[in-house]
Amino acid sequence: MSSTTKDSIATLEQATQLGLLEEEFEKIKKILRRTPNFTELSIYSVMWSEHCSYKNSIRLLKTLPRDGAHLLAKAGEENAGLVDIGNGLACAFKIESHNHPSAIEPYQGAATGVGGIHRDIFTMGARPVAALNSLRFGNLKEEKTKHLLRGVV
């Protein structure tokens, strides 16, 4: 990246190319009290991405139960949810969304998704005994979809 690109004032077009909405671009300008440069815009686009902030799915996730008598670690408060299943045993649960990384580099994106799930299970003091991937690819007649399918699966 040239120094003129990273230091230049960002545009709405660049913001949308990075996955930000016009309202988000305006919010960034309000937060900074000025128009961000390209580097700053890129940082916001990562922080506010679905992968990092769940900006689109958070409303649905908040409707799910977050506490209960058998929860040892509440959903969203630790690396993984932890449920007491009796007899001194617990079960750890973790989900990961890797849509964007998998779209950029299918094989590595998928690998880091599974790796992140295992990392978070291990940090709860548990061992993974099963992993389930729920994969969505889109229209299988599209070449891009076929490319993603070959790389991820």
Is 98 assigned a catalytic role? yes
- Of the residues 51, 100, 118, 147, only one is catalytic, namely 51
Tokens of 122: 């291990």
DSSP codes of every residue in 35-101:
--BHHHHHHHHHHTSHHHH-TTTHHHHTTS----TTEEE-TTTSSSEEEEEETTEEEEE-----HHH
Residue 51 is among the residues annotated as catalytic for this protein:
yes
Q: Which of 70, 98, 100, 147 is catalytic?
A: 98
Q: How far, in Å, CA of 23 to CA of 78, rounded?
A: 31
Q: Report CA torsion sign: 66, 72, 76, 81.
A: negative
Q: Show the CA angle centred on residue 119, arms to residues 117 and 120, nearest 5°.
A: 65
The set of catalytic residues is 51, 98
